[in-house]
Amino acid sequence: MESIHNLKQRFRNAGIVEKLIYINVGVFILVFLASIFKFLTNSNILVKWLALPASFSEFVYKPWTIFTYGFLHTDFIHILMNLIALYYIGYLFKQYFTAKQLLNFYLFGTFFGGVIFLLSYNFIPSFVPQKNFSILLGASAGISAIFIGIATYIPNYQIKIPLIGFVKLWHLAAFWVLFDLIRIPTSGNAGGLLAHLGGALFGFLYVQNASNKELDLFKPFQNLFSKKEKKLKTVYKSNNPSPKKGPYKHKSYDQQKVDSILDKIGKSGYDALTKEEKEFLFKQGKQ
């Protein structure tokens, strides 16, 4: 009982990235335990009720699966690769956005990916015959939304890769998307790859269109997770940054300093910041 209490405490005190990882791992363990008793029912009940079915007629009886599939994994390598990506991409994302915004990107990326999956298996002729046998699971669509979102926001941010050197974030994002695109014709998981692209599309469109405003399309859903934060915490680049209009009219000193630091990151990368600038940006991110 004490170990369970400790786990609860660790979960409560964890950040949003760790919480998403804990939930994914927890579901994976439950699926594994359920698989031990699979021989009794000849099916894994958790997979059956959490995975997103390709068939609309089956989906209408399990509408929650448009979100739950994003926390479901049945293969160890699959969950390992996804959670490693979530860990590193999530922490980079959190340097510029809030925990609630990361949750929104994960959930709506999952939702978008699920919609693309359903549409592809019900309206693309070559996919339709497979719809009664196909399901979608995995966190990839949500992670794609987070990655493409942050890459769209700071495209010139540089990451040092062993044996390669510094690579701009938008180059990695482009490879991420192209790698899925070129595999669609030959992969046996074309629907899953399209779901990844659906999540990536959400991340891109959110950042591109959320400049000083929220996407009205998602307002009802966002309010489920955030009652106070309705705008992106930092000011996005705008096509009309006139000091006479909108929220740019009365910028605080802190906001001006944040903008200056973000401009510096866009030009030279995060590593070009001084220790004081990094600490200031970190403190602003916790507000």
Write out the DSSP string of 195-212: HHHHHHHHHHHHHHH-TT
Same domain as 263, residue 151: no
For residue 275, tell me if it sits in a domain. yes
Q: Per-10-residue mean pLDDT for the chain, 287 residues long?
A: 72 90 94 73 77 94 96 95 96 91 95 95 83 90 96 92 89 95 88 94 88 46 47 46 40 70 72 74 63
Q: Which residues pair with 165 in a beta bridge?
A: 161
This prediction's pTM: 0.73
Structural domain count of the chain: 2
Query: Does residue 70 form part of some domain?
Result: yes
**Do 140 and 182 sit in the same domain of this protein?**
yes
How distant, in Å, are the alpha carbons of 108, 141, 151 from that of 68?
A: 12, 12, 26
Give the C-alpha separation, 190 to 96, whole Å: 33
Give me the domain span that covers residue 17. Answer: 12-225
In this structure, are residues 29 and 115 in contact, taking their beta carbons and an 8 Å threshold? no
Q: Is residue 232 part of a domain?
A: no
Q: Same structural domain for residues 280 and 179? A: no
Q: Provide the token pair at 62.
A: 């399990």
Q: How much is the pLDDT for 131? A: 79
Phi/psi region, residue 231 (left: phi>0; alpha: psi -120 to 50; beta: rest), is beta
Residue 189 is predicted with a pLDDT of 84
Q: For residue 193, is it within any domain?
A: yes
In a domain, 202, yes or no: yes
What is the CATH classification number for the domain harbouring 48? 1.20.1540.10
Same domain, 140 and 274: no
Q: Is 162 contained in some domain? A: yes
- pLDDT for 7 equals 75
* Residue 46 covered by a domain: yes
- Do 259 and 179 fall into the same domain? no
